Amino acid sequence: MDTAVEYAIPAYLKLEGRTWTATPSPRTTASSPTGLPLSRLSAPYYAPWEDLASDLPRLIQTGQIRPLIDNLPVLTTASLQSEPEWRRAYSVLGFLTHAYIWGGEKPQDPLLEISAHLGLPPCATYAALTLWNWTTFPEADVTNPDNLSLLTSFTGTKDEEWFIVISVAIEAKGARVVPLMLDAIAAATANDAPRLTALLCRFSDILEDLTVTLKRMYEKNDPNVFFHQLRPFLAGSKNMAAAGLPDGVFYDLGNGQGEWGQYSGGSNAQSSLIQTFDIFLGVNHSATGDVKPAGTGYIQEMRKYMPSPHRNFLQTLAKLTNTRRYILSSTDQSLKEAYNSAVLSLSSFRDAHIQIVSRYIIIPAKSRAPEQKTERVNLATASSQVKGLEDKNPTGLYGTGGTSLIPFLKETRDTTKAATC
């Protein structure tokens, strides 16, 4: 790689280390004066980043994104004054990084420096793509995806926007589950079976509501647009030899120092909300996925891609949860039925996810791609086939995170269903 490319990326992504924190609830005022993710870094100093991000779809389509990133000025973090600004910077840089990797005629490995401030991998995670990448109008119901819009986009399509805001709406609706779970843990501790039964019934109702929202994905997201236009930019650098990145990407730390890294792409498995469901119900996915060493599992691996307070909350919840243990020791049939209903509601949510994957990935992967104006590598196709793993995954379909797509999702669903008692 030539010197100009080698040092431009680490320069513009130079962030000095601090500690990254989580996004607050959309209804709080901690993230910005309006309670929304910050829509733009206000300091003119960061205009070069924001200007590229605001015009990303056109720059990708016209093949200008790499040279413009290569020529970005060296910026530091001195003007980032608040956590919302750090989150916005992380989201913007995540988009620019993935656009740089996959936005040319061939995938390329950018050299960049990411600080400990993020507490997140140097790639476009669920936090960058979803949690910190939406906005709405004053007093809007953020549980309704029709009220939400994106701040930054790879394609500029309504399909991409709908794909993201569906997840945002699910996060907003699912926020009701957190205090409910804590109340349920308290009820089990107090040996209050009637209250725990009622809370589990409410938990099932919320999960069913989330499933309804998930199924709205079909309304405004065309499978071919998702698969052929958006999905290429969502992938990470893990298991991407077939796409032209056999060693992942090289992260340059300056002065000839650096290291190769392989990271999963953005995935809903990086949603701490979804993982709370399993922890609360006592569903164990420890052996699920293709991640080594054995026993860690892909779902557990995805916690490394969450903001650190989210990870900490999951760890604390895992220590506190006593729901399944209490129910297994109980002779209350109504309580067991309420628990089983909650487990099956979560299984149904995962069934809906499998159906979406089939429609948006499996079927388009078997069809001919629309004609492209450039020779750009379509990662959605390239990452569908990971050489050397066909014996483990006969379908040949892999997720943007590098997992065996359908086998992984079905195993997760089946493990959930098996938790009934």
Residue 265 contacts residue 195 (beta carbons within 8 Å): no
The set of long-range contacts for 245-250, using a CB threshold of 8 Å and a minimum separation of 24, is: 245/101, 245/107, 245/109, 247/109, 248/109, 249/101, 249/109, 249/110, 250/109, 250/111
Residue 136 contacts residue 148 (beta carbons within 8 Å): yes
Q: What is the DSSP letter of 250?
A: E
Query: SS3 of 125, please?
Result: coil
Say if residue 353 carries a ligand binding annotation: yes
CB atoms within 10 A of CB 322: 17
Residue 31 contacts residue 84 (beta carbons within 8 Å): yes
Distance CA(203)–CA(150), nearest Å, equals 29
Residue 252: what are its φ and ψ, rounded to 5°?
A: -85, 125
The set of residues, in sequence order, having a beta carbon less than 8 Å from that of 357 and lying 6+ positions away, is 405, 406, 409
Strand-pair category, 134-135 with 149-150: antiparallel
Query: Which stretches within 125-176 are classed as H helix?
Result: 126, 158-174
Distance CA(366)–CA(369), nearest Å, equals 9
Residue 53 corresponds to which tokens in the numbers above?
A: 């991000």
Using CA atoms of 96, 98, 99, 104 in order, give the dihedral in degrees to the nearest 10: 140
Query: SS3 of 394, please?
Result: coil
* C-alpha dist (Å) from residue 192 to 186, 315, 318: 9, 25, 21
Within a 13 Å sphere around the CA of 320, how many CA atoms are in the beta-carbon half?
15
Residue 81 corresponds to which tokens in the numbers above?
A: 């004054």
Residues in the chain: 421
Bond from prior residue into 293 cis (ω within 30 degrees of 0): yes
Annotated binding site for heme b: 353
Annotated binding site: 353
